[in-house]
Amino acid sequence: MTYTTKEARELLGKLPKTDLGFFPTPLYKLDKLSAELGIELYIKRDDFTGSNLFGGNKTRKLEYLIGKAKAEGCDHVFTYGAVQSNHAMQTVWAAAKNGIKPVIYLAAIVPIDENDIKANLLLDRIYDAEIHYIEPLEGESFMDTEERSFKMGEEHIKRLEAEGHKCMNIPVGGADETGSLGYIGGITELYEQADALGVEFDYLYHATGSGGTMAGMMAGRNLLGRSTVIRSISAMEIGRSYAKHSASLSNGALALMGIGSPDEPLVKAEDFAPDDNYYAPGYEIPNEATTKAIKLLAKTEGILVDPVYSGKAFSALLDHVKTGKIEQGSKVVFVHTGGATVFFAEKEILGDVF
């Protein structure tokens, strides 16, 4: 059974949620690049989610996550990421806006200069987050460092709860069933706009990291019975269980809406085809193709995409046009998931864009 966009909105409206953004975000055609590439290229500006000056895809997730935290009476919210994490910063402002104390554990991939705090980390401080830096151990991968930070956060939560506090522990990227609801709503919004424009998209491109946005998009696409091919471009190394985990998030989010069952899941692991061919040489490490993609979009359409996430996804889109993976004349939408603060971060993250 498929649902209309109106029915999807009605089901989402029954769940705890707090208003954080300005929606709908713009959807429009990129005329110059469309002519240059030979496709109909549209962009969905989820970098404009608001109400913080620096929006992004996490805002949609946090509407449900912070909504749930408020409904449960939480006075602390914990989350995790790299030092310049967009998700951590957006969680911090969303919590602060709602009177909840934000606590963040940040893996220090890039060395921290206390005399020159920049970008998202600066915003974290302005919003009065309690910040804990986790330095990588010798020979330790980013994922290993993050795993240590999760355990430290869990111990911290136990101490606070023993004192009578109520805490919510939000995973990296807000990637759980509740957070994934945000992009069931996001893709519903996108299809409402596309229907109004009379456009049926062949392909949707976006950057993926923790997988919650991808899970929500796939859940929404299947819920609405649409045929758009979703191509999720990874900003980091992904494991063999990535698609399976994302499917569980999709179905878990749908279950919160009262849809589906374990015996008849609406989303399967085979629905996903995340592409990890464009993140090298590593997470938060720029590459030449991404730098070229950033400059092309900036000089033709005046739009900035960051070198960590959306820039790598956009470089994949350009390569797919070049190699014929996107056929000439196709209707393609690129979902811009934010990250502009990286342009004010460390040189190691920014790369050679100037």
Active site residues: 85
Looking at the DSSP assignment, which residues form a beta bridge with residue 41? 332
Task: Return d(Cα 63, Cα 238) in angstroms, integer.
Answer: 27
Looking at the DSSP assignment, which residues form a beta bridge with residue 169? 78
Give all strands (DSSP E) within the chain, no chain letters: 27-29, 40-45, 76-82, 101-107, 130-134, 167-169, 203-208, 229-234, 331-336
Task: Return d(Cα 79, Cα 63) in angstroms, integer.
Answer: 15
Query: Exposure pattern of 262-298 as b/e (b: 16+ CB <10 Å)?
Result: eeebbbeeebbebbbebbeeebbbbbebbbbbbebbe
List CB contacts of 334: < 8 A, sequence separation 6 or more. Answer: 41, 42, 43, 44, 204, 205, 206, 313, 314, 317
- Strand order through the sheet with 101-107: 130-134, 101-107, 76-82, 167-169
Q: Tell me whether strands 130-134 and 40-45 are parallel, antiparallel or unpaired.
A: unpaired
Q: Tell me whether strands 40-45 and 27-29 are parallel, antiparallel or unpaired.
A: antiparallel
Residue 278 · residue 200 · CB < 8 Å: no
